[in-house]
Amino acid sequence: MALILRRTLAVFSILLTLSLTAAPAATPVVAQENLRYAAIVIDAESGEVMFARHADARRYPASITKVMTLYLVFEALEQGKIKLDDVIRVSPHAAGQPPSKLGLAAGQTITVEDAILATAIRSANDMAVALAEHVAGSHTRFAAMMTLKAEELGMTQTRYANANGLPDSRQLTSARDLALLCRALLRDFPQHYRFFGVNSWFYGGREYRNTNGLLNSGQGYDGIKTGFTNASGYNLAASAVRDGRRIITVVLGGRSTASRNEHVAELMTTGFEVASRRRGGERIEVAQTFFEQRGFGIGPEPAEGGVLYASLPGDSTAGSRAEPEDSDVRLVSAPAPRSDRTAELNRQPTPPPAAQRRPPARPAAPEGRWSVQVGAFRDETVARDWLDEVNRRFRSQFSGAERRVMSASGWWRSRFTGMTEEAARAACEALSARNVTCQVVRPD
C-alpha cells in the first residue's frame, strides 16, 4: 500500500511539473518611457530659459497651433488687411472640420472678432480655418504663411500643415519653439493678447467656457492655449503674472487634463520662486539647477503617482482624436543644500563615513588629465549652456581647460578637462565658495 501511495505521489508531482512548464510565463509589466513629454519654462521679459526638458525634441502641437493662427490674424488686423467687424462667410471646407467646433453651416456668417473668440476660447477648428481663409484666401496658402512666420520667429523645429492643429504627421513643433511663439505674441500684439484670457463667451444663446482650466485658479494665469490629439497627448502653453513678473510655461504630452495642469502649476510656481529669491538678493545663476533640486527633470517621469505623462502609441502616425470640447541662455543654481548634492546631481552614491571607507591603493594619477564636473543633465543643450555659463563666470579658473559635454547612461555631464590635480581642486573650491556645485574627477 505504501509503495502504491509513493508511486501515485510521484506521478502527481511529474504531472504538476509538466503543467507549470507548459504554462506561458507571465509577462512583466514594464513602464514605457514617456516619449511625448517635453517642457520649458521661460522668463517672458528677458527670455531666460529657467527650465528645459526635451525642449528641442519634435512634438505634435495639437490645438496650440491656433496660437500661430491668431498671431497671423492679429498681424493682418494691425496691417489693416482685415477688421474685427469684418463678416466671414463660412466655406464648406471650414464647416466640414471635425470637432471641437462652433458648428456653423456652410454659408452662415460670423464676424472676425467672434471667430477669434471661438478659436481662442472654444478651440473651434472650423473657425480657425474660416479665419485662415479670410486672411489668405485659402487654407493651404495660410498654412504656408504659418511655416514662413515660424522660420522668421526662429522656430527651427516647426512646420505647419493646417491652421487648427488637427492630426497631420507633417505638423511638428517643439516646446522651445512654442515658448518663442508665445513670447512673440505677447511682445508683438499685447493689445490683442486679451482674447486668450477670456474665461467664458456667449454666442448664439450658449455659453462657451475656456478650455484652459488654470484661468480660474487665482494664480495670475491669463492664457494661453490648450491642445490635445491622441498623438500629442494633453498640451498646454500657459502664461501667468505674479508680483509684476511674467513667466511662460509649455508642457507637452500630458496623460490627462488634470495631471498636465498640475505639472504646469508646479513648474510655474518654481519659476516664480526663483524670481522671488533673486529679488531678495539670493544669487541664483542657473535656474535649471534650482528646478532639478526641486525634483524636476532629474530622472525618468513616474509611471504612477505625481505627474503622469502620455506614452507614445505603437504607430508613428498622428492620432485621429482631437481636443475634447470640455478639456481642456541664461540658466541658474540654487544654493547647495547641506546634503551631498553634487553626488546626487551626478548620480554618484553619497560617500560613506570615513571609518567605513577602505579604498584600494591607486597609482598616482598623471598630471594634466584631471577634470572638474559642474553638472549632469538629461538635456544636452542644457549641459552645454551651463558649461558655457560657468566658463564665463569663472574664466580665470578654467583658462587652460578644455570644455567637454560627455554622454553616459542617458546623462550629459558638463566637464572642464585637461587640468592638473592642483588646478582642478582650486577651481572646484572657487566654485563651491560661490554655491556652484562641482566635483573633482580623477583620471581613469
Gap between the Cα atoms of 38 and 397, Å rounded: 35
What does the pLDDT look like over 425-438, one tens digit per residue? Answer: 999 888 877 767 78
Q: Which amino acid is at 128?
A: A
Residues in Cβ contact with 170 at an 8 Å cutoff, skipping those fewer than 6 apart: 159, 161
Given 100, 101, 123, 371, the catalytic residue:
123
Catalytic site residue 123? yes
Burial class (CB in 10 A: 0-12, 13-18, 19+), 262: middle
Helix (H) or strand (E) holding 219: none
Note the helical H segments in 280-412.
Answer: 287-293, 341-345, 380-393
> 165: phi > 0 → left, psi -120 to 50 → alpha, else beta; which?
left
Helix (H) or strand (E) holding 136: helix 125-136
Q: Which amino acid is at 357?
A: R
Given 13, 19, 46, 63, the catalytic residue:
63
What does the pLDDT look like over 367-395, one tens digit per residue? Answer: 568 999 988 877 788 788 888 878 887 88
Question: What spatial distance separates the first Cα and last Cα of the chain, rounded to whole Å?
Answer: 72
What does the pLDDT look like over 36-78, one tens digit per residue? Answer: 999 999 999 999 999 999 999 999 999 999 999 999 999 999 9
Q: Whose CA is closest to 59, among 148, 198, 177?
A: 177
Confidence check: pLDDT of 336 > 50: no
Given 66, 101, 149, 225, the catalytic residue:
66
Burial class (CB in 10 A: 0-12, 13-18, 19+), 343: middle
Can you give the length of the chain in residues? Answer: 444
Catalytic site residue 174? no
Beta strands in 44-175 (DSSP E): 49-53, 87-89, 109-111
Please give the grid coordinates belonging to residue 79.
496691417
Count CB neighbours of 45 within 10 A: 13
Give the neighbor-by-neighbor strand order of the sheet with 370-377: 402-408, 411-419, 370-377, 439-441
Distances (CA, A) of 291 to 235, 277, 329: 20, 13, 15
pTM: 0.65
Gap between the Cα atoms of 105 and 302, Å rounded: 45
pLDDT at site 353: 43
CA geometry: angle 8, 11, 17, nearest 5 deg: 140
Confidence check: pLDDT of 363 > 70: no
Catalytic site residue 63? yes
Gap between the Cα atoms of 411 and 111, Å rounded: 52
Is the link from the previous residue into 284 a cis peptide, with omega within 30 of 0? Answer: no
pLDDT confidence tier of residue 319, bands split at 50, 70 and 90: very low
Question: pLDDT over 90 for what percent of the chain?
Answer: 62
By the 8 A CB rule, do 197 and 121 touch? no
Strands 87-89 and 109-111: antiparallel
Gap between the Cα atoms of 157 and 177, Å rounded: 7
Task: Provide φ and ψ at 202, rounded to 5°.
Answer: -100, 130
